[in-house]
Amino acid sequence: MKISSVFKNNEMIPRKFTCQGEGINPKLVFEDIPKEAKSLALIMDDPDAPNQTFVHWVIYNMPITDKIDEASSLGIKGINSAGAVGYYGPCPPTGTHRYFFKLYALDAMLDLKGEFSKKALEMAMKDHIIEKAQIIGIYIKS
């Protein structure tokens, strides 16, 4: 399984997709999703954030698809570390940060009640992950 975007792995995320730009999500392309997958989940986080990992985007129960278009999402969106639902663009307070876009192929649709976090999603999908892929983007405020 593979995930790709408008930026290559370990390269700069275009400004458009950050807090200094439009703050919309980039297009993500998915390849080689396992045939037995019943749903997809996505987590985007920043482990370089001060104090603790900052969660930027959480989605589950995405249909089996080959992409998420720019400024859109599929499935059910969770709460990011800013306390909002949906995508929160890179906005590092200082220095260069890495942003991990992690795609999970799952063998089931998940049943999470109400608003949920990255932690709740990780617990729910723990025994359902068939395969995982990731791409890392980098951003530094200029």
Cα(83)–Cα(119) distance, rounded to whole angstroms?
A: 14
Question: For the segment 8-44, what is each residue's pLDDT rounded down to a tens digit?
Answer: 999 999 999 999 999 999 999 999 999 999 999 999 9
Query: What is the model's pTM?
Result: 0.96
Question: For the segment 40-88, what is each residue's pLDDT rounded down to a tens digit?
Answer: 999 999 999 998 999 999 999 999 999 999 999 899 999 999 999 999 9
Cα-atom radius of gyration of the chain, to the nearest Å?
14
Residue 40's contacts (CB-CB under 8 Å, 6 or more residues apart) are: 30, 33, 62, 63, 64, 65, 75, 103, 104, 105, 106
CATH superfamily of this structure's domain 2-139: PEBP-like (3.90.280.10)
Q: Give me 97's structure tokens.
A: 């940060």
What is the phi/psi pair of residue 48, to 5°? -90, 0
